[in-house]
């Protein structure tokens, strides 16, 4: 009989694993608490590792339909001085995928392959013996239970008493807006001024992805009702971008989160994605590294004698990549948000020098360069 996986959470991590395990012949059921399959958010910086996962799952063409690949990413200070530039190439691709397009690609593929997706099923917890319990009292058992239920994971809470979730006092607004001829095509740019940052990147012919970050205390910057004037006072040359952001109903995250869990596996239960290792979004790797981890888990399970052995090999391979990325994402964000005001005059110079280091660049790009063990 085929092995059975029960995955809690139909986000990008859970759905990637569902597709990969199904391709290896597992029976897969996904349980999602929402009434419908959906992805919140707008654009998603997607680096080489995420794109490789899509290629290996045979979903690259559909997920990247209409998307423009970028030639470089530039970090500039408020005097337009270049702090750092990352050139992209065929070996290091980068684009902004519309989140909904990626999520729909994965969920359609899962359904087509015969994954059972159950909505309106909110899990309450899981037992290492291989049982998941739902809030309506139902219970299901399987060979593998996967907690892919995001930052506030109940599966994590039920199997671990050795984890921490930290709030980082840094937040953002993210939005996809119509492009126009004033936008520089083909590059992703991040501008810094004090503790505020604005990123712009072409997503498709018609869409520009914009994110605006500020410290949580900066209430005007992170207000639900977007302030063109306040953001223009920090970045006057971007007024034309801010004027395209609707005044209300924007997607705001007031804080970011960092999750550390000492053990990702307890018996037949395993944590995946943000449930196991949410990270600040500064390197644009939370989703892509979770998708990479999901594919690696399926590969290791397929190549191992037992589920225990497969999970243990998977965790050994994935954890160093994830932990390095969590650390570097936090360090990068801290340079913007907790840099001492009295040393602001030298920030650009210090960052320019630090980012010249090959070692630092290797650490920052650990996830982007990660390659899973074998092809599907």
Ligand X SMILES: Cc1cc2nc3c(=O)[nH]c(=O)nc-3n(C[C@H](O)[C@H](O)[C@H](O)COP(=O)(O)OP(=O)(O)OC[C@H]3O[C@@H](n4cnc5c(N)ncnc54)[C@H](O)[C@@H]3O)c2cc1C
Q: Which residues sit at the interface with ligand X, rule CB under 6 A? A: 8-14, 31-34, 44-45, 122-123, 148-150, 154, 172, 174, 253, 273-274, 281, 284-288, 290
Give whichever of 23 and 174 is closer to ligand X, judged by the CB atom.
174
User: 12-23 and 286-303 helices cross at what angle (nearest 10)?
Assistant: 20
Shortest Cβ 310–ligand X spacing (Å): 20
284 versus 333: smaller Cβ distance to ligand X: 284
Angle between helices 286-303 and 48-56 (to 10 degrees): 40
Contact 312, 279 (CB under 8 A): no
Tell me the torsion sign for CA atoms 136, 278, 286, 333. Answer: positive
Instruction: Please say which residue, 13 or 301, places its beta carbon nearer to ligand X.
Output: 13
**CB of 33 or CB of 239, closer to ligand X:** 33
Q: Which is nearer to ligand X, 42 or 348 (CB)?
A: 42
Residue 324: CB partners within 8 Å, gap ≥ 6? 363, 366, 367
CB of 123 to ligand X, least distance (A): 4
* Residue of 150, 63, 61 lying closest to 102 (CA atoms): 63
- List all residues 6 or more positions away from 254 whose beta carbon is below 8 Å from its beta carbon: 171, 216, 222
Q: How far apart are CA 279 and CA 13, in angstroms?
A: 14
- CA 265 remoteness from chain centre: 21
| Residue among 117 and 351 whose Cβ is closer to ligand X | 117
| Nearest-approach distance from CB 200 to ligand X, in angstroms | 13
Q: Shortest Cβ distance from residue 45 to ligand X (Å)?
A: 3
Report d(CA 212, CA 273) in Å as an integer.
24
Minimum CB separation of residue 349 from ligand X in Å reads 28
Q: Smallest gap, in angstroms, from Cβ of residue 230 to ligand X? A: 19
Burial of 182-206, coded b for 16+ CB within 10 Å and e otherwise, reads ebeeebbbbbbbbbbbbbbbbbbee
Q: Least distance from C-beta 367 to ligand X, angstroms?
A: 9
Nearer to ligand X, 130 or 284 (CB): 284
Mind giving me the DSSP string for 243-285? TTS-SSS-EEES-EEEEEES-SEETTEEE-THHHH---GGGS-
CB of 342 to ligand X, least distance (A): 29
Q: 167 phi and psi, to 5 degrees? A: -95, 135
Q: What is the token pair recorded at 65?
A: 């339909």
Q: Minimal distance in Å, beta carbon 346 to ligand X?
A: 29
Pick the closer one to ligand X by CB: 3 or 33: 33
Total number of residues shown for the chain: 376
CA-CA-CA-CA torsion sign (23, 278, 266, 371):
positive
Please identify, using beta-carbon distances, which residue of 34 and 139 lies nearer to ligand X.
34
């Amino acid at each position: 009989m085929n092995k059975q996986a029960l995955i809690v959470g139909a986000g990008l991590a859970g759905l990637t694993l569902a597709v990969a395990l199904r391709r290896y012949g597992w029976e897969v059921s996904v349980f999602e608490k929402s009434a419908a399959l959906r992805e919140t958010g707008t654009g998603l910086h997607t680096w080489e590792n995420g794109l490789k996962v899509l290629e290996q799952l045979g979903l690259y063409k559909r997920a990247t339909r209409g998307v423009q690949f970028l030639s470089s990413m530039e970090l500039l200070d408020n005097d337009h001085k270049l702090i750092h530039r990352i050139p992209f190439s065929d070996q290091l691709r980068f684009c902004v995928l519309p989140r909904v397009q990626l999520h729909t690609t994965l969920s359609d593929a899962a359904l087509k392959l015969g994954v059972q997706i159950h909505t309106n099923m909110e899990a309450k917890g899981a037992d290492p013996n291989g049982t998941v319990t739902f809030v309506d009292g139902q219970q299901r058992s399987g060979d593998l239970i996967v907690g892919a239920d995001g930052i506030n994971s109940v599966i994590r809470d039920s199997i671990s008493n050795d984890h921490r979730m930290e709030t980082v006092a840094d937040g953002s607004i993210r939005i996809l807006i119509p492009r126009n001829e004033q936008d520089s095509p083909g590059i992703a740019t991040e501008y810094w001024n004090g503790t505020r940052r604005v990123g712009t990147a072409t997503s498709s012919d018609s869409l520009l992805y914009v994110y605006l970050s500020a410290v949580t205390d900066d209430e005007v910057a992170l207000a639900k009702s977007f302030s063109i004037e306040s953001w223009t006072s920090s970045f006057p040359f971007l007024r034309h971008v801010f004027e395209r952001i609707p005044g209300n109903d924007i997607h705001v995250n007031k804080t970011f989160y960092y999750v550390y869990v000492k053990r990702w596996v307890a018996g037949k239960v395993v944590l995946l994605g943000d449930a196991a290792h949410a990270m600040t979004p500064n390197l644009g790797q939370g989703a892509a590294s979770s998708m990479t981890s999901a594919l690696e888990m399926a590969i290791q399970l397929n190549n191992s004698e037992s589920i225990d052995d497969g999970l243990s090999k998977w965790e050994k391979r994935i954890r160093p990549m994830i932990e390095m990325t969590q650390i570097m994402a936090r360090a990068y964000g801290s340079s913007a948000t907790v840099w001492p005001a009295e040393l602001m005059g030298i920030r650009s110079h210090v960052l320019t020098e630090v980012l010249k280091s090959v070692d630092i660049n290797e650490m920052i790009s650990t996830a982007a360069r990660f390659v899973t063990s074998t092809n599907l």
